Structure 1
Amino acid sequence: MNNLPGHPSEYSANQPSSDNLLWQYVQSLNPETVAQLSKPELEVAQIMEQNLRGILGNLPPEHFGMTITTSRENLGQILASAMMSGYFLHQAKQRMELDKSIQAMHSS
């Protein structure tokens, strides 16, 4: 990941933002929808917190003042990993809820 002026990132180098349909869709959403989609689910947030602690270290904050130094590229990779994990966990939670609904329909 390179955010220097005149150096596009590896993800955007081959595609202008005007061709990114997902970005266009997100920009078209109304603020209420964005606010609703932005609310974290407690279970997902807990797993994400554990995941990030595993990546960054798990020292108790009440005993250690920790500062993390990294490059933009590494920070970008951590952020991308966290985002993908969050997306995966969100999809898994939706799948779990769907499975529960289907099981409830079959048992009634």
Structure 2
Amino acid sequence: MSFNFDFIASETAEQDSNTLIQYLQEQHPDTLTRIAQSASPEIKQIITQNVQGLVGMLPSEDFNISITTDRENLANLLASAMMTGYFLSQMEQRKNLEINLSNTDSL
């Protein structure tokens, strides 16, 4: 899994004012790839299930599935997946912190 921000390569007035996009464009590709690869298998599985639920799940062996959408709806789907990933990553860190704290003796 790697991060590809080619989807933000086109210049628009909205993107010019988006400081997060500007920050991402300033990052070294290796840094973004390392961050994207840090997601645990559990997070990847939940995001996959979430996106499949949003798009719809029909068994591919029985159906020839083709999905058509416009740029805005696709961007919203990607944003949703990214926010889900961020949220899950934070919850995973919180879970690990709680586990570590529960394993220590109380002062």
TM-score, normalized by length of structure 1? 0.72
Identity of aligned residues (%): 36
Instruction: Provide the aligned length of Structure 1 versus Structure 2.
Output: 97
Tell me the SS of whatever aligns to 1:24. Answer: helix
Where does the alignment leave 5 or more consecutive residues of structure 2 unmatched?
A: 1-7
CA offset at residue 37 of structure 1?
A: 1.5
- The answer for the alignment partner of 1:38 in structure 2 is 36
- The answer for the alignment partner of 1:60 in structure 2 is 59
Matches within 5 A, 1:1-108: 7-9=12-14, 12=15, 15=17, 20=19, 23-24=22-23, 27-28=26-27, 31=30, 33-39=31-37, 40-106=39-105
Q: Which runs of 4+ in 1 moved over 2 A?
A: 5-9, 20-31, 33-36
Where does the alignment leave 5 or more consecutive residues of structure 1 unmatched?
A: none
| RMSD, aligned α-carbons | 2.9
TM-score, normalized by length of structure 2? 0.73
Q: Over alpha carbons, which structure has the higher Rg? A: 1
